[in-house]
Structure 1
Amino acid sequence: MEDLDVVAWIQVSDGRMLAVRSRGRDLLYLPGGKREPGEDDWSALSREVREELDLELDEATFRELGVVRAPAHDQPRHAHVRMACFTAAYRGAMAATGEVDEYRYVGRRERHLLAPAAQAALDLADRHGLLA
């Protein structure tokens, strides 16, 4: 089985990581998603964040934080998710749009609310000293 290959935005505020809940999902995920044909990481992530949260990412601050791999949740055709995680500053007022029903900031104590790949991203952010 091939990994589901996605990009994700790690946004931390007050030591807590941003997560979103897509329509019909039980767990929280990171903003981001699959690349469209021909898209690079920056193009895919900036498009996904615009579609999901109505924000514009700042390309000058776009940095890769790392790649995580974890069991896929709610993805019957994929056993694992390979998620390239990036940070970037943003402009705009955050709003749940598109397929996103809610967004919230989570800390270590809310880990159980996150899908496995988002849990791995939380650990990655923690290793980089981003969490409180």
Structure 2
Amino acid sequence: MKEIDKIAFIEIQEGKILSTRSKGKTIYYIPGGKRENGESDKQTLIREVLEELSISIIPSTVAYIGTFSAQSDGEKEGIHVIMTCYKAKYFGDLKANSEIDEIRWLNYKDLEIISEVDKKIFSFLHGKGVLE
């Protein structure tokens, strides 16, 4: 089984989670992405969030939430994405940047428009009582 290693930024406000839709895509994803050679989880998180959302993560506030795995969307069967999730405080104004076409706040009822791994993350957060 092939694995795709990704880092995700979890931001929840008023019971809704920050999600993004990339240009040319129809489903939403929790922001983040793949690490570059030699990057730590924190370095990947900081870089990806700045690239996609135009905000700056405060490194000392980065906190691990969990790691989740599912079949990768758009890939052949057996290719799984491993999503390591972190929350953090940030500064700046959220703005779609780079390949991101839209930023949207979603809740647990939006499972039909998100990726398979995000469904697991949404369910976990809903079970913890932080996602409506």
User: Could you state the TM-score of these two structures normalised by the residue count of structure 1?
Assistant: 0.94
Kept in 1, the 8 Å contact 2:27–2:113? The answer is yes
Displacement of 1:128 after TM fit?
Answer: 3.1
Tell me, yes or no, if the aligned pair for 1:68 and 1:120 is still in contact at 8 Å.
Answer: yes
> C-alpha displacement at 1:126, in angstroms?
2.1
Aligned-partner Cα distance in 2 for 1:125–1:54:
25
* CA-based RMSD: 1.4
Is 2:35 aligned against 1:47? Answer: no
- How many Å separate the matches in 2 of 1:100 and 1:123? 24
Query: One-letter code of the match for 1:120?
Result: K
User: Contact 1:27 / 1:115 at 8 angstroms: preserved in 2?
Assistant: yes
Gaps of at least 5 residues in structure 2 are: none
- For 1:78 and 1:90, the matched residues in 2 are separated by 35
3-state DSSP class of the match of 1:103?
A: strand
- Report the CA distance between 1:23 and its aligned residue: 1.1
Measure, in 2, the Cα distance between the counterparts of 1:98 and 1:75.
Answer: 22
Contact 1:12 1:131 in 2 (8 A): yes
Length-normalised TM-score, structure 2: 0.94
| Contact kept in structure 2, 1:27 and 1:114, CA below 8 Å | yes
Equivalent residue number for residue 95 of structure 2: 95
Percent identity between the two aligned chains? 33
- Post-superposition CA distance 1:33-76 (Å, at most 9, x none): 00000100000011000000000011121011000001110234
Distance in 2 separating the partners of 1:129 and 1:67: 18
Q: Would the alpha carbon gap of residues 78 and 58 (structure 1) be closer, same or farther in structure 2, given more than 3 Å must change?
A: farther
Partner of 1:120: 120
Change over 3 Å in CA distance of 1:103–1:81 after alignment to 2? same
Secondary structure in 1 matching 2:126: helix
Question: Within 5 Å, which residues of 2 pair with 1:34-73?
Answer: 34-73=34-73
Structure 1 residue ranges (4+ consecutive) displaced by more than 6 angstroms after TM superposition: none
2:83 corresponds to 1:83: yes
Structure 1 portions without partners, runs of 5+: none
Q: How many residues align?
A: 132
Equivalent-residue separation in structure 2 for 1:34 and 1:78 (angstroms): 18
The residue type paired with residue 105 of structure 1 is: W
Aligned to 1:25: 25
Q: Quote the offset at 1:9 in angstroms.
A: 0.6
